[in-house]
Amino acid sequence: MKKLVYLIIALFVLAACSHDPDYVIGEKDMVDLLVDVHKAEAVIESNYNQYSSKADKKKLREAVFLKHGITQEQFDTNLVWYGHHIEDYMKIYEQVVERLKAENEEAKKLLAEDNSQTMSQPGDSVDVWKQRRAHVFDTRQASNLLTFDIAPDENFRTRDYFELRFKVLLLPKLSVKPQVYLAARHINHDIVYNQLDIDREGWHSLPLQTDSAMALSRINGYIVLPMQPVSGTMYVDSLTLIRRHYNDRIPTVEHQKSLPSRPKSTRELRLNKKY
């Protein structure tokens, strides 16, 4: 009987020793967290002027912790725990490195595709983005909005197809999703536009097909992280606005909408209905 009691006690002790403390972040969540931490540090290094002060750096790092629902202290505590469980940490870090490598290769591939063509032939593409390639959005600052407005030059044509591309590295958990808007105004004042909500991190693309007959007068749009009482930071980089020429084949863009230069009169509507 005593042997059985000792055996049960020993099993409980072993179970207690093998059980991770409640404060320890699990493997998958820790991988996601460390990937975002590395991204934030890369943002700081590549935007030194914007993050020259300790306060600015701290703010971006805290945005990462806020996204994952932890504090700096909890993160540090987990690093200490994983430091005493180095095999678990190395297993996690290998996954982090692979994730970062994969995302870096994807970015290189997309940029290579955009830069591989010239304007020499119809159908070729060119990047017409004129502003900074990266932007930090803050729900409580004026930086929550990025606008752009491009005046067409002699290289713009009818039927031009546009595609706004960017990569979201940090996306806060907020009740209202960030929004993207891309529009083209033609010389007759007709407008075509497209929009999307940012609901995930990673690459995003917003296409727009212009009129097949009317020339362009403006290309404009915005990316906005709606202002909210809760603090949140979103980082966007690799911004490009690709313009492609088309002669015969015009791609179909789903969800694109149009605004006529003026509403039709009652008489025009009756005539259209009659014929």
Domain extent listing, the chain: 19-113, 120-261
Closest to 196 (Cα-Cα) out of 164, 237, 152: 164
At residue 168, the pLDDT reads 92
Q: Which of 123, 137, 209 is nearest to 166 (CA)?
A: 137
Using CA atoms, how far apart are residues 205 and 244, in angstroms rounded to an integer?
14
CB 238 within 8 A of CB 166: yes
Question: Taking a C-beta distance cutoff of 8 angstroms, is the pair 110, 165 a contact?
Answer: yes
| Mean pLDDT per 10-residue interval, the chain, length 275 residues | 39 46 88 86 75 81 87 85 82 84 69 46 71 84 81 82 91 85 88 90 91 82 82 87 76 76 50 44
Question: How confident is the model at residue 16, as a pLDDT?
Answer: 43
What's the CA gap between 72 and 68, in Å, rounded? 11
Radius of gyration, CA atoms only, the chain = 26
CB count within 10 Å of CB 159 equals 19
Domain covering 120-261 assigned CATH 2.40.50 in the classification: no
Cα gap 115→224, rounded to integer Å = 27
Residue 69 φ then ψ, to 5°:
70, 30
pLDDT value of residue 197? 92
Q: Assign residue 255 a region: left if phi > 0, alpha if psi is -120 to 50, beta otherwise?
A: left
Distance CA 152, CA 128 (A): 9
Q: Are 185 and 260 in contact (CB under 8 A)?
A: no
Residue with tokens 């805290």: 62
Residue 51: CB atoms within 10 Å = 20
